[in-house]
Each structure stands twice: as C-alpha cells, then as structure tokens.
Structure 1
Amino acid sequence: MKSLFNTRNSLKSILFIVMILFGASQSNAQIKPSNSGYAPVNGTKVYYEVYGEGKPLVLLHGAFMTIGTNWGELIPELAKTRKVIAVELQGHGHTPYSDRKLSHATLAKDVVGVMDYLKVDSADVLGYSFGGAIAYEFAIQNPKRLSKLVIISSTYKSTGWLPEINNAFKNMKPELFENSPMKAAYDAVAPDKTKWIPFLKQMMASAGEPFDLGEANVAKITAPVLIIAGDNDGLDKIELAKTYQLLGGGKVADFGVMPKSQLAIVPGQGHVSLMMQTKTLLSYVDGFLK
C-alpha cells in the first residue's frame, strides 16, 4: 500500500513539473508550419506539420504530448537548416483516436506512411521517450529509409527503464491526468474531445505491457545513432551502456576508429527537465547530424 501511495505521489509530482515546463515551452515564440495536414495511412489518418527547408528530419514526440508541447522550443532552431517533419502519433493531438491495437510496429509503419505521402525517400529521425521507442522500431523495420537516428531519453525494451518507472506505468490511472497540461493540450486540438479517456486507457494498457524490440535487431541498425539521456531520467544506465555497445560504441577510440554512433549523458537532468535544455540538445543534435 505504501509503495502504491508513493507511486501515485510520484506521478502527480511528474504531472506538476510537466505543467510548469509545458507552460514555459508554449510561451516561446512559435513559427508557423509551411505545410500541415493529414496523411491517410494504414486505415487511419496521421497529422503532420512541416517547417523549414533542407534535409528531412522527422520528429516523434513523447507519450500524451503534441508537436507543440514536445518540440515548441526546438523546432524554430532545427528548421533554420532542416526540413522538419513533426508527426502526431495515433490518438495524440490532431491525430484521431483509433481502435487499432497500439503497437510500436504499427506506429512505425504510420511514420513510413507519412513519409510516403510527403514523398520523402529517407530522413533522419529523432524520437523522445515513447517516440524514441517508435524511432527504434522504425530503424529496425526500414533501414533504407533512415539516414541517422537520434534517441532522447528512451529505450528499445521495457527493462531498459528502472523498476520504479515500470511500476509507475502499471499503476497509472486516467484520473491522474485530470486538470493536467496534457489534457489542456489535447482539448485544444483533438478532433473528438470525447475520446480522451479511451485514449488514456489505450496508452496506459500499452505502457503496462512489457516489450523488447530485440537485442539482435538493434545490433543490426547500420545508421549512426546518437543517444542522449539525463543522468537521472529513469533509464537504467547499465542497460543504456549495453545498448551503446550494440550500436558499435564503447570502444577505445585512441586505439582505433571512432565509432559512428554517440552517447551523451547530460548531468543534473531528469526525464522531463532534459527536454527543456534546448541549447544543450541543439549542440548535440546539430553536431551529430552535420
């Protein structure tokens, strides 16, 4: 009982922090997309926004988030040199709720569908949290469609999170999101606001299911990968180091060739606060993609 109480309090604390940070993100001056709309894919339609010009960069947001709440600070900077394609995944933001089973494989195929619709043959892909897991799946499914991969505070398997995080996933309830910034963001753009609770239940059921995209599959990713994590963001850093090794990292570069993949651990950052380190993230992402 005490463990459940602590879990519920932790979740409420996370929501409170997110409320403050979302407010800071949304107060930032926004730029308007040059193109936006819905791509008909896999029996549903997926909302996208396009900013800037240059080599395509696909952005995949975190759970319960929208393009604006996740990427509001980064898009204006990234779009200065790139064609940024931001996607809202099934049930999120403008993209309607669907009864389709929520799976990493299905959502990764949706991303491919958006790229096909926009006539983008290949792109760099950047995913945060939930979106990072989808980005891993995309890389595994579509090696020829991927140039470079950036993963922020995410993992390709549920055991990549610390036990406290997985316990929190299992104990999430819709009422925890009442009067939250996620609810406000959803109400602002969702095509059918009555789907909020079904959407939450669908996402929570998915979060509570163990998943593993496969060590062997991750090891086969040939594109360069940049992993960015906060030192206290809920990821198991031992497992994260193993992931980096699967991607060719963890070498003694002075004795050989520098690995094409990179790992950055940002000090003094949690899962939510990491996304607000705009200058730090940009320095890593820009340097890696260039």
Structure 2
Amino acid sequence: MKRLQRTATFLKPIVFIAILMITTSQSNGQTVKPSSSGYVPANGTQVYYEIYGEGKPLILLHGAYYTIQLNWGQLIPKLSQDRKVVAIELQGHGHTPYSDRSLSRTTLASDVEKVMDYLNIESADVAGYSFGGQIAYQFAIQSPKRLRKLVIISAAHKTAGWVPEVTSGFKKMKPELFANSPLQAAYDAVAPDKSKWTKFLEQMMALAGQPFDLGDDNIAKIAAPVLIISGDNDGMDKIELAKTYKLLGGDHSADLQPMPKSQLAIVPGQSHVSLMRQTDLLKVYLENFLK
C-alpha cells in the first residue's frame, strides 16, 4: 500500500483507483466455474476463452490489463443464468499469451470473430468495457453481420471521447508503476509466461499513448442497437458522449417520434472503475436491453 501511495501523484486517478478497487473486490460476491474453456488459433496467436451458462450468446470483452475474472467475475454469475456467456481474454491478457505481432484494434476485433467461428457462433450480442469497448466498437464496424446488439461500458471510439486528464495519464504510465500490484498478481496467476509481464505492459501502454479515432461516419453506420453505459465521473467527455449517442440515432424527443433503437445510461456517483462494481444495476440494464 505504501508503494501505491508513493506513486499516486504520478499515476492519474483512473489507474491508481483501479488498483485499489481491485484489491478490495477480488473476493467479494458469488463466483462460478466455466462449463468449458480453451484456446482458439487467431491471426497468428492463441486466444483464450471461457463459456458460462446456456442460451443466446453474449460475448464479453474486458478492459486494459484485466483478466476475465478481474473484470467480469462478479457479473458473469448473474448474466449466465439465462445466457451463454463467452468471455475472451485479449492479446497478452490473462491466459492469452503475449505476442510480438502488431497490437491493433482491427486485429483484436478480428480475433473475436475467429473465436466465434471456432465456437460455431453465427451472431452474438457483444459487451465491452473500457479498452474492450473500443474493440467492441471496432467489431461492430468490421463485422456487422456477426453482431446482434452492442453494449459499450465506459468506453470511447476516439481519443477525444476522454477528458484531457485521462489522455494525459495514458501518456505518463510506466511499467514499473504496476510492479507488485494486484494487476500483476492476477497476471502471474494465469499467464502462460510470467516473464512477459513488462513487455505486455509496454505494448499496451504504447497503444494507449497513441491518438486514435474509429471514425464518426463508421459509428453512424452501425445498424445494430447500441446501449452506452457511462458513470457520471468516469473520465469520459460527456459532450462527446452525447455526440456519439446522436450518431447512433438517439437524442431526440421520443414523444414526437419513435423511440430510438439505441440507449444511453449515465449512472450517477460512479467513476470509471466503480461503475463495473454496480453488478445488480448493470445486470438490469443489460437484461432489459438485450431481451
């Protein structure tokens, strides 16, 4: 804890708070074991997946530096009660091995489609949190026929979607600040090669520090219904978020014209990380939207 406090002035709150909240939440709540798990050959690497429950498929994509359990462990037992939940670990995360291949959102979204092919899933609902939400957006853009509905939790489709403090924080992150953190402990517990931890961090941080934009025109072309969930203080620029919702057909008077197919939920009193701890609320949002 003293090490975390010493580095707090350098790390932006979004990173420091994430580490603290993971520390206090790892053992809370119900857990379930996957009915099956394994690896899928995808674009020159192996992608790890876990399956829970039965029913219509729902694919979960975690945030940066997380594992399936760190991100979704408290929500999977609720979602898998009446859904087939397929949770994926992205390149270098968790069980999925580190790879020297170029790290790009396009490739990661293609990995998701490869997993669907392997599991004989023609189309699915997709939910992504933070970095996983970026990949979910990219999946919707490049694989529209494979998508039913899209859920984006605290994620932007371009750099301008974050407040300046967050983008500045991304540029200042360094691997040594994560040493001996709960994030590293989770990685060490399941990674096929623990020696790749620093290379994995460097790869992810390099990508995070680069400006990106998936394109407003591409977002506007998403035909699937989209649910955007954001904490009121989660680091997302709410003006840009409103613009994104408008691109998806929202932001008009539903008393005067049909209700839009997409939805926007702003959850009060929540940060980027604390939002994912509101499992009962998220379950209600997802179930009402996906049913």
* Alignment TM class, shorter chain as reference: over 0.9
The 5 A counterparts of 1:168-207 are: 168-207=169-208
Is 1:209 the counterpart of 2:210? The answer is yes
2:288 — aligned with what? 287
1:111-260 alignment, distance < 5 Å: 111-260=112-261
Distance 2:76 2:23 in 1: 15
**Corresponding residue number in structure 2 for 1:36:** 37
Deviation at residue 258 of structure 1 after TM alignment: 0.2
Distance 2:275 2:111 in 1: 27
**Match in the other structure for 2:278:** 277
What amino acid maps onto 1:146 in structure 2? L
Residues 47 and 94 of structure 1 are in contact (CA less than 8 Å); yes or no, is this contact kept in structure 2? yes
Task: Please report how far the alpha carbon of residue 18 of structure 1 lies from its aligned counterpart in structure 2 after TM superposition.
Answer: 3.0
State the distance in 2 between where 1:13 and 1:157 align.
Answer: 18
1:22 and 1:73 map into 2 onto residues whose CA distance is: 14
Aligned to 1:106: 107
Structure 1 residue matching 2:212: 3-state secondary structure: coil
Structure 1 pair 199–222 and aligned structure 2 pair: CA distance change class (3 A): same
Structure 1 outlier segments of 4+, above 6 Å: none
CA distance in 1, matches of 2:46, 2:166: 31
- CA distance in structure 1 between the partners assigned to 2:192 and 2:56 by the alignment: 31
Contact 1:153–1:235, Cα closer than 8 Å, also in 2: yes
1:20 positional shift: 3.3
Letter in 1 for 2:83: R
Equivalent residue for 1:88? 89
> Structure 1-normalised TM-score?
0.95
SS at match of 1:57: strand
**Residues 28-67 of structure 1: per-residue CA shift (max 9 Å, x gap):** 3311101100001111100000000000000000000000
Extract unaligned runs of 5+ from structure 1.
Answer: none
Task: Indicate if the aligned counterparts of 1:26 and 1:69 stay in contact, CA closer than 8 A.
Answer: no
Preserved contact between residue 75 and residue 84 of structure 1 (Cα < 8 Å): yes
Structure 2: which 5+ residue stretches go unaligned?
Answer: 1-5
The one-letter code sitting in structure 2 at the alignment partner of 1:82 is R
**1:26/1:72 contact within 8 Å kept:** no
- AA partner of residue 250 (structure 2): G
1:2-81 superposed matches below 5 A? 8-11=9-12, 14-81=15-82
Q: Aligned pair count?
A: 286
User: 2:120 and 2:24 mapped to 1: Cα distance?
Assistant: 35
Amino acid at match of 1:40: P
Give the Cα separation in 1 of the matches to 2:288 and 2:54: 18
